[in-house]
Amino acid sequence: MAAPAAAGPSGRAGPPRQAAPSATGSSRRRVLRRAGPAFLVPTMGGAAMAGSEEGLYSRQLYVLGGGARRLAGARVLVSGLRGTGAQVAAALVLAGTGRVVLHDRGTACTADRAQQGNPGVVTYVGTEDSHGYPFCDGDLVTFSGVEGMTELNNREPIPVRVLDAFKLEIGDTSSFSPYRRGGLVSQVWLPQEHSYEPLRQALVDPKIQATNSKELLRSRSLHAAFQALHAFRGERGHLPRPRVSVDAERVLELARSLGAQQGPLDEDVVRAFASVSAGDLCPMASVLGAMVAQEVLKAITGKFLPLDQWFYFDALECLALEGAERLTEEDCAPRGSRYDGQIAVFGADFQEQLGRQKYFVVGAGAIGCELLKNFAMMGLAAGPGGDLTVTDMDTVALSNLHRQLLYRTADVSKPKSVVAAAAVRRMNPSVRVVAHQNQVGPATELLYGDDFFRRLDGVASALDTLEARAYLESCCLRCHTPLLDSGTEGPRGNVLPMVPSLTEPLRPGDMSRDGTFPLCTLRYFPRTIQHTLQWARDEFEGLFQLPAERVNRFMEDPAFLDQLPAGLEALEVLEQVQGSLRERPRDWQDCLRWARRHWQSCYHDDIAQLLHNCPPEHETSPGVPFWSGDKSCPHPLTFDPDNDTHLEYILAAARLFAQAHKVPPCNDRAAVQAILRNVVLPPFMPQDGLRIPLTEEQEEAQVPVDSGRLAELTQDLVQRRQELIGGEEVQVPLMEPIHFEKDDNIHMDFITAASNLRAENYGIPPADWLTSKRIAGRIVPAIITTTAAVAGLACLEIYKLVWGCRDLSCYRKSNLRLSDCWLLRTHPPPPPTYQYGGQEWSCWDRLEMQAVGADGQEMTVQEVLDWMQRTRGWTVTMLLHGYTMLYDRGGDEETRARQLAQRLSASLEDAGEPRRRELQLTYVCEGEDPEAEDARPPLLCSLP
């Protein structure tokens, strides 16, 4: 985990440092600055006492009382002026002590400028994608890229103490050299050794992993129950029969004999366990199988924290469903069916109900595959009247195969939904499954409209974007359709059930992040490898995609130049087209020379120009360095054809440039190095007066366009186009636009090398190829164990939905962290309520009306307002559908009359909206609380 630095109020950052004494000798300035990605905050101190003492020391008087007035006459000797002594002296002087005598026989040295430095304090900010507190007490960290206080760099990991959300205490830094700027602090994990008791001993004295004492008691009861179950089977030769109380009581007797030596026993848990122990549920197998597999992976890879030593998981809340206690032995007896394991738990009638379900699975990726597999095993939609719809726009990729179990190598490039549906049919031919290849969103509302969602028994979300999940949630909220939302990231996962009128909405979109960075950060002030990778992505698009697209349009469309927008954008486009035409390579050697020139421009000349404008010693104001805080001072690179990163960049850039210009490449590295050694470039000459926008405001500021330059470019390009068309056989399109694809190795070679060179410019630790691919390709880390466990947890909630459970306490929202075998299942919160019109409402409530007038036709707006007045006693002053105004009492008389006479859908048709059978309207009523804008039930109108 890494966190970049951010400037304190002074614009500086780093470990604590005390400036040299001022000219008066009595005032000292302490500057806390960044160590690692951290900064420290400046404070000022002085001993002068003048003017009104009470005005100056009023806040201190509130703390110390009247005795504080005696400070002015006090005399104090401070002996020893290292870090602690200097802090004592500073505090006494600031408090207004009359005389402070300082004593120290030592000689001041450079290291003293690092005080106060014991303990050293680091102020930091997290990266754009970090959440909450990135560090905890005792975490081990390392530092890199720190300038000045270089003793911090490349040290053994240092334990930290968290002072607050932005400060870490890192031990004694008083002997370190003075801090200048820059740095990155990263959390590290050291190997740990774990040992375990043998099974025989662990059975008798179990170490059980639990999150609280209540869960520990339950787990200990299950520990005894499992041993009793084995004893019962040995005694009777079979498992306890489902819902046979005699068998369950015998298991309880056996458990009591074990429980006496292991602590209290929850007898209800043991009875429930025994009554369904002959059952077999696919979702439970998914959860536990995934957790066991994860422990095996930990043992093999040495990654993550292993389980210590027992872990018990149950979903016995499924047996608390209303009516479940009335199930009989006959209800749960085997039928010779593939579902007998499920019937043993929930009964045969419930199995038939499962078969009648109508479900919609949105997404057939990793989670979607696991959900569909479970549905097939459970028999969901496998009976009369049942159906299962799955939609996914994507096709199967090679990288899907290691965690999306429904796909095989032969399925690569085929539609995921079609392949997944076929796999479900093979698993269970009785399941009625239909495959779609559509996105669920505003563009497909005619297909997936309110009627579609209302006919469903439930929706399972297996989407990979928060925006798509939020849209799906809004559809289910509007149509009162149950929704199960699942998500994973690496070893973490979550399941969120949304039950109409019972739970609060999910609202996953509230957590969305756009993942963008300020342009100034990317261009001039990168702090992390994420910044340099995004810069490399932008470079890729700006070098190999946009120029080719624009050149092709310029060559194919004579009106291209006339269609350009005015201003700087037109100038930028024209210069790009001109440059691409001027730099057209004739052969592979030209491509190499172009790549070498571009390397020089990016990693030497641009940096040298930036330092010419803002030298390392540049100050934003007297005493405040420009290159401090979140601005790391860069340095130019010198090209070396024997440097692997330099050569990888040249090779990748030249190959892509050749591809864009349709020139055959060459892969002879030795020949490439020979050509590069003979390339001679002119020495860099800095330009005076060159504008470099260094802030977001300067980036956005409008710069006058050189109209003469614009006209000159236009004329030159018109002439070039005529020469190209008339002078040679032009291959149309002239260039090949290259779109970045994370699975193309050449693309990733360029991104990795470009990013790491940029990182070297700014002293940022580089990233390897695989890490660069994950970040630049925006790949969410994924593993089969997490997706399997999450899908299993989701299907446990489906049992409750199919049962028709209306008891909130039976439902669970789950948060999973397989990295340390942690699972938290809690009750989902109820929906929030609000007061409106003298009544309490929840977010699920709405007013419903059949918008059919006395003539059997669609109601007019006037009739709707009359209905509101008649049924609710509310006088509507404004009526809207989305942003379309249907009625506004504040309008002129003619407009109001026209609005009132119109039928509901007429205004919508005038606004270009498609006709709908149902309209959800919002309104404002007379006398309404102005703050109630978002707290009123919507009006749902059903049209004839």
Give the whole-angstrom CA distance, residue 148 versus residue 265. 63
Give the whole-angstrom CA distance, residue 699 versus residue 161. 39
Residue type, 793: L
DSSP string, 333-395: S--SSTTHHHHHHH-HHHHHHHHT-EEEEE--SHHHHHHHHHHHHHTTT-STT-EEEEE---B
Other C-beta atoms closer than 10 Å to the C-beta of 880 total 15
Q: Pick from 409, 372, 410, 416: which is nearest to 391 by CA?
A: 416
**Tokens encoding 815:** 């948060």
**Tokens encoding 560:** 């291209």
At residue 137, φ and ψ (nearest 5 deg) are: -55, 135
H or E element at residue 879? strand 876-881
| Pairing assessment for the beta strands 29-31 and 43-44 based on DSSP bridges | antiparallel
Alpha carbon separation from 94 to 72, 77, 289, 412, 836 (Å, rounded): 11, 15, 64, 72, 56
Question: Hunting for tokens 């994973």 — which residue is that?
Answer: 488
Which burial class, exposed, middle or buried, applies to 321 when counting CB atoms under 10 A from its CB (0-12, 13-18, 19+)? buried
Burial 443-480 (b: 16+ CB within 10 A, else e): eeeeebbbebbeebbbbbbbbbebebbbbbbebbbbbe
Beta partners for residue 496, in sequence order: 485
Q: Pick from 162, 213, 150: which is nearest to 187 by CA?
A: 162
Alpha carbon separation from 526 to 324, 339, 437 (Å, rounded): 60, 58, 40
Would you call 520 a catalytic residue per the annotation?
Answer: yes
The residues, ordered by sequence, that sit 6+ positions from 216 with a Cβ below 8 Å of its Cβ are 208, 210
With contact defined as beta carbons under 8 Å apart, do 99 and 73 qualify? Answer: no
Sign, Cα dihedral of 741, 742, 743, 749: positive
Give the whole-angstrom CA distance, residue 153 versus residue 143. 5
**Tokens encoding 922:** 């919002």
With contact defined as beta carbons under 8 Å apart, do 259 and 267 qualify? Answer: no
Residues 479, 520, 666, 821: which is the catalytic one?
520
Give the whole-angstrom CA distance, residue 331 versus residue 323. 12
DSSP string, 207-256: -B--SSHHHHHHHHHHHHHHHHHHHHHHHHSSPPPTT-HHHHHHHHHHHH
At residue 389, φ and ψ (nearest 5 deg) are: -110, 130
CA angle 537, 540, 545 (to 5 degrees): 125
CA angle 200, 203, 208 (to 5 degrees): 135
Residues found in the chain:
944
Question: Hunting for tokens 């890199």 — which residue is that?
Answer: 144
H or E element at residue 76? strand 75-79
With contact defined as beta carbons under 8 Å apart, do 864 and 851 qualify? Answer: yes
DSSP string, 16-71: -EEPPP-TTSS--EEE---SSSB----EE------S-HHHHHHHHHHHHGGGGGGG
Q: What is the 3-state secondary structure (H, E, C) of 431-488?
A: CCEEEECCCCCHHHCCCCCHHHHHCCCEEEECCCCHHHHHHHHHHHHHHCCCEEEEEE
| Pairing assessment for the beta strands 847-850 and 939-942 based on DSSP bridges | parallel
Catalytic residues: 520
